[in-house]
Amino acid sequence: MIRTRKVFTTLAKSIALAMRTAPVVCLSLLIFKFVAAVLPTLQIDLTKELTNSVASLLNQAGNMRDCITVLVVIFIIGIFAVLIELLNQYITLLLQQKTGYRMEGMLAEKTVLFPVIRFDDSQFYDQLQRARSTITFSGQRVIDFLFSAGQSLVTLISFIVLIGQFDTLLTVAIILYMIPSLWVNMKIGKWKFWLLRLQTPFTRRMQYLFDLLTNRSSAKELRIYNLGQTLLKEWSAIYWNNAAEQKKVERRSFKARSAVESIQSLLGMLFTIYSIFVCINGNLTVGHFVAIYQILVSTQSQLKKLAFELSSLYEDALMMNEFFLFMDTNEEGQNSEIAAALQAFKGPITKGITVNNLSFRYPNRSEYTLKNISLHIKPNQTVAIVGENGAGKSTLVNCLIGLYSSYSGKIEYDGVDLKNIDKSALYRNIAAVFQDFLRLYNTPRENIGYGDIGRLSDQTALEMAAARSGASEVISSLPDGFDTRLGPEFEGGTELSVGQWQKLALGRAFFKESEIIVLDEPTASMDPIAEQSLYKRFAELSEGKITLLISHRLGSCKIADHILVLKDGELVEQGTHDELLKLEGEYSRMYHAQADWYT
């Protein structure tokens, strides 16, 4: 009962969404579907009249004009029915396009509002995957199925009204004839929904493996390490495991449908026999019997159609509920009153960033990635964060700039708790180049200009940012300069090396006028000369900003005003380059280990 109520609630939301998106299209479709629904009954009634007219003509009690008149009317209605069906198909396509666009836009807008930490949660990914697949499959079908089911239902009701004119018991019989099929197909829709829901994590894994097998980015390593068959074997195992589960549901559905079809065939035979007695005892004509039999046959086809539509509608409605659940999810876990009380970020930073007893762990993990970290970053200070892989460097930065908010302890900007600062205002004052930087398969103009999209047309600023990041030489070598299409996956796209992509990402960060700049391994893919050139100009690039620099190359830390050394999620040392070398601790050990390779 609860699930059925959920289905009706979801259908109501779906109708409201469609009406808001395309009200004229929805009303047009509703009208045409209703007209299409009553035409079969009208055609059966006319067939009855035609049969009686022909019978009278054969008995020499009628005339040819009556037969021709009825035939002409049947012909006109037949042409009209075809036109109505074509119009329904066209309007349905329009509605699918508009609702699909609206739902994809809603999902994209919603997704970008979620904090980054949610993307480290597999359950969130499952929920997002179900919402995305809803748009692809259920979202564009649910309204069509709803209207089509309504059309079939109106047709069946019109059959009942027509047959009720002949005999009341026939009306009861045809209603009883419908019930088992509808009930069974609703159950089948529920089974398929739960199968789809339970298979979501396995389907995501299967899609990931298939992407590895077919994507350009993984092609080289798959061949070098001969991984094709290994990954194909894992993909195949998941595929056939899912297929086995689907076959179980289909076998169960087959048994249920076979039982219902058998019962309906028996009921149909009894219905026909009773109809003959009704015609004999009620002094009905042969036309009436033909009409009753046509109603029986048409009811069978309409019932199959309606059963399929209701089954699919039930399944799609449950899937659509996943979309609405995702849309109703609170992005930050804050209510509107808390959100309204958030303070706008006001630069420049005059007192610095203070951290007290910061601890953090990722969703669904018991161990802490950061443990009781306390530090202070001064205004306009360049701070290098170093440590071995897994020490927590990137996690610390993500906490410092508000991407991760589910930490304990306190982070303050000029004495204001970071959790009380409006994140959108804060992000407008942060530029970043992450280790997994974004490669936009657009043009260099957009790759750099998206750093501050409001100044995308400022050619002077674009050229200056490109020069500061070292991307000018890359852009000048391209056939159309700033307007060259990048990315080999699209026709006419030019491929860049990883180092060239990184220079464009740096240009994007330098193009944005920000209070804070984050550089996570900013030269990892650059050649030594380009790296040296960048660091020589680093004082100019970071002037007037708080700069957070993550690097494994400790020689680059000499340009930093302050260095934080992390180990196993703890801040074990901090100070300048020279101070940390004198301590002869963790930083000194790592620095000399790297220096040994150059001597």
Q: Domain residues of the chain, as ranges?
A: 1-114+138-164, 167-283, 353-441+516-596
Helix (H, G, I), strand (E, B), or coil: what is residue 387? strand
Please report which confidence band the pLDDT of residue 552 belongs to, taking 50, 70 and 90 as the band edges: confident
462 CB neighbour count, 10 Å cutoff: 23
The single-letter code of the amino acid at 561 is D
Tokens of 187: 């159950």
pLDDT bucket at 379, cuts 50 / 70 / 90: very high
Are the C-beta atoms of residues 467 and 440 closer than 8 Å to each other?
no
Residue 218 is encoded by which pair of tokens? Answer: 């993984």
Q: Between these two residues, 445 and 219, which has the higher pLDDT value?
A: 445
Work out the angle between the directed axes of helices 2-21 and 23-58 (0-180°, nearest 10).
Answer: 100
Q: Which amino acid is residue 346, in one-letter code?
A: K
Q: How far apart are CA 319 and CA 464, in angstroms?
A: 50
* Rg of the chain in Å (alpha carbons): 35
Question: What is the rounded distance in angstroms from the CA atom of residue 337 to the CA atom of residue 335?
Answer: 6
List 571's β-bridge partners, or say none. Answer: 566
- Tokens for 85, please give them: 């069906």
Considering 112-116, 403-407, 436-440, the range whose residues carry the highest mean pLDDT is: 403-407
Residue 177 has pLDDT above 80, yes or no: no
Exposure of 128 by Cβ count < 10 A (0-12 exposed, 13-18 middle, 19+ buried)?
Answer: buried
Secondary element (H or E) of residue 359:
strand 353-360
Q: How confident is the model at residue 539 (pLDDT cuts 50, 70, 90)?
A: low
Q: Which residue has the higher pLDDT, 58 or 568?
A: 568
pLDDT > 50? residue 583: yes
pLDDT digits (tens, 9 = 90+) for 522-531: 776 666 776 6
How far does Cα 144 stand from its chain's mean position?
21
Q: Which residue has the higher pLDDT, 425 or 141?
A: 425
pLDDT at 256 over 90: no
What pLDDT does 4 receive?
Answer: 67
Which comes out higher in pLDDT, residue 452 or 530?
452
Say if residues 39 and 153 touch (Cβ distance below 8 Å).
Answer: no
* pLDDT, position 6: 75
Q: Report how far residue 432's alpha carbon sits from residue 46's, in angstroms, rounded to the nearest whole number.
A: 74
**What's the rounded mean pLDDT across residues 309-324?**
79
Q: For position 337, what pLDDT does the model report?
A: 46
Pair type for strands 430-433 and 416-417: unpaired
Residue in 507, 379, 381 with CA at minimum distance from that of residue 446: 507
Strand, coil or helix: what is 515?
coil
| Higher per-residue confidence, 326 vs 180 | 326
Mapped onto helix, strand or coil, the DSSP state of residue 231 is: helix
Model confidence over 268-307: pLDDT tens digits?
Answer: 777 778 777 777 776 677 777 777 778 777 877 777 777 7
278 vs 559, higher pLDDT: 559
Long-range contacts of 530-533 (CB under 8 A, 24+ apart): 530/470, 530/499, 530/503, 531/556, 533/470
| Per-residue confidence band for 396, with pLDDT thresholds at 50, 70 and 90 | very high
| Local confidence band at 354 (pLDDT 50, 70, 90 cut-offs) | very high
pTM of the predicted protein model = 0.68
Q: Which residue has the higher pLDDT, 321 or 356?
A: 356
The predicted pLDDT at position 575 comes to 92
φ and ψ at 519, to 5 degrees?
Answer: -125, 100
pLDDT in tens, 38-66: 888 888 888 877 787 777 777 766 677 77
Confidence of residue 223 (pLDDT cuts 50, 70, 90): low
More reliable by pLDDT, 100 or 331:
100
Burial-class residue 507 by CB neighbours within 10 Å (0-12, 13-18, 19+): buried
What is the chain's mean pLDDT, rounded? 82
Q: What's the pLDDT band for 225 if we cut at 50, 70, 90? A: low
Give the model's pLDDT for residue 597: 67
Task: Decide if 445 contacts 457 (C-beta within 8 A).
Answer: no
Evaluate if residue 373 carries a pLDDT over 80: yes
Overall average pLDDT of the 74-86 stretch: 89
Q: What is the mean pLDDT of residues 502-506?
A: 88
Mean predicted confidence (pLDDT) in 340-367: 84
Domain 353-441+516-596 has CATH 3.40.50.300: yes
220: pLDDT strictly greater than 60: no
